Amino acid sequence: MNTREYVIEKAKAAKAASREMTTISSKVKNTALEAMAEALLSNKDLIIYENAKDIKNGKEKGLSQYMLDRLLLNEKRIMSMADGLRTVAALRDPIGEVLKMWKTENDLQIGQIRVPLGVIGMIYESRPNVTVDAAALCIKAGNAVILRGGSEAIHSNTALIQIIKKAAEENGLPKGCIQFIDITDRDAVNEMMTLNTYIDVLIPRGGAGLINTVVNNSTVPVIQTGVGNCHVFIDESADHTMAHDIVMNAKTQRPGVCNAIETILLHKNIAKEILPRLGESLISKGVQIRGCSKTREILKNIEQATEEDWAAEYLDYILAAKVVDSIDEAIEHIYKYGTNHSEAIITNDYNNSQRFLREIDASAVYVNASTRFTDGSQFGFGAEIGISTQKLHTRGPMGLEELTTIKYIIYGDGQIRD
């Protein structure tokens, strides 16, 4: 069987399962999710054993420290995945929700209800926890899912799929509702991008190269998830301690994720007061700072920032820093280099905070808080399937409701149109 035949076979099975998924009750879905959580915990030794193969291969291939961290599964992370499954099970089921109903002049009663998207294709890299999160959310929202992870996590993902798929099917979900593409070459992705007959939407989650490839080449509708060139602007009225703590959290707590910041913008009137302490703290954490000429006048011995630095998603212990003359310059900089993901202002000026909220075009805009909160679990969604940085059909962290669409239902008593 060649790659195309293999992918089509998986897609057909998912499509058939998606029809059955529309009839599955919330109780059955929740029971299956709880069973999947128990299965993960019961098989944690196997998962860790298989994950160790990926970590070993990653080290041999020279993966960076942050990439290995994204790849790692340990007992704590497996427990977190199980907790995520239980959290999703406890969430309200959106399927069948009546959004609104109205009656027309000729007494037609028209309603709008939530229904599943159908078959969701997930193409993602590195983080094997995405395998479980995506499966959980798709199932609870009544969808079938086709998962295609990266080659760097193939052993981890294969083990996870075998465990959760068995638990799901043994507890009432249709065979085929969770599909896994274990072909790691690019041909499998290329085939998924053309299967409009079977796949209703593709969600790429990973680096810019992957996302751009899918967005630019797919004939299947795509929800674009987040490349995160995120910024913090420290306004002249900012509380200095707050600014320090937020920048440190947003950059160093977990630098290899899309909601970590890559650039700080500092108002010229407070740069000399804030930068020395902030720079010392960042460097002590191993962060390499690349600054504009004004930044380098304050922080000696840091690298000169280039045009490429302002546009970079480092996903590493590297941070660009620029001193700006005004909030206008900060906003212009973010418009030029931002990726519509997450942006923050630190300020005690109400007017500036409201202007920032109003004018910044991003899926999440913060006042006096870390960008690290752009996350489905932090927003109360239980988990997320990704952060959408586009405007259709959804934006920001994608939870259950974002994995549904609407259907119109119409009740009549014999009406015909004139």
Sequential pLDDT tens for the chain (418 residues): 899 999 999 999 999 999 999 999 999 999 999 999 999 999 999 999 999 999 999 999 999 887 898 899 999 999 999 999 999 999 999 999 999 999 999 999 999 999 999 999 999 988 899 999 999 999 999 999 999 999 999 999 999 999 999 999 999 999 999 999 999 889 999 999 999 999 999 999 988 899 999 999 999 999 988 789 999 999 999 999 999 999 999 999 999 889 999 999 999 999 999 999 999 999 999 999 999 999 999 999 999 999 999 999 999 999 999 999 999 999 999 999 999 999 999 999 999 999 999 999 999 999 999 999 999 889 988 778 999 999 988 999 999 999 999 999 999 999 999 9
Measured CA to CA, the distance from residue 10 to residue 180 in angstroms comes to 8
- pLDDT value, residue 208: 85
- pLDDT value, residue 286: 96
Full strand arrangement of the beta sheet holding 98-103: 98-103, 109-116, 404-411
Which tokens sit at 174? 């249709």
- Which of 131, 127, 129 has the alpha carbon at shortest distance from 139? 131
- pLDDT value, residue 168: 98
Residues 6+ apart with CB under 8 A from 248: 278, 281, 282, 285
Measured CA to CA, the distance from residue 132 to residue 357 in angstroms comes to 34
- pLDDT value, residue 6: 97
Measured CA to CA, the distance from residue 235 to residue 327 in angstroms comes to 7
What is the pTM assigned to this prediction? Answer: 0.91
For the chain, which residues make up each domain, given as ranges? 3-225+398-411, 230-373
Which tokens sit at 37? 């959580």
Measured CA to CA, the distance from residue 239 to residue 236 in angstroms comes to 9
- Fold for the domain defined by 230-373: Aldehyde Dehydrogenase; Chain A, domain 2 (3.40.309)
- pLDDT value, residue 384: 85
- Fold for the domain defined by 3-225+398-411: Aldehyde Dehydrogenase; Chain A, domain 1 (3.40.605)
Residues 6+ apart with CB under 8 A from 162: none
Asked whether this chain's domains 3-225+398-411 and 230-373 adopt the same fold, the reply is no
- pLDDT value, residue 133: 93
DSSP states of 162-217 as a string?
HHHHHHHHHTTPPTTSEEE----SHHHHHHHTT-TTT-SEEEEES-HHHHHHHHHH
The phi-psi region of residue 230 (left if phi > 0; otherwise alpha if psi is between -120 and 50; otherwise beta) is beta
Environment class of 388 (CB within 10 Å of its CB; exposed 0-12, middle 13-18, buried 19+): buried
Task: Let me know: does 259 contact 374? Beta carbons within 8 Å.
Answer: yes
- pLDDT value, residue 366: 98
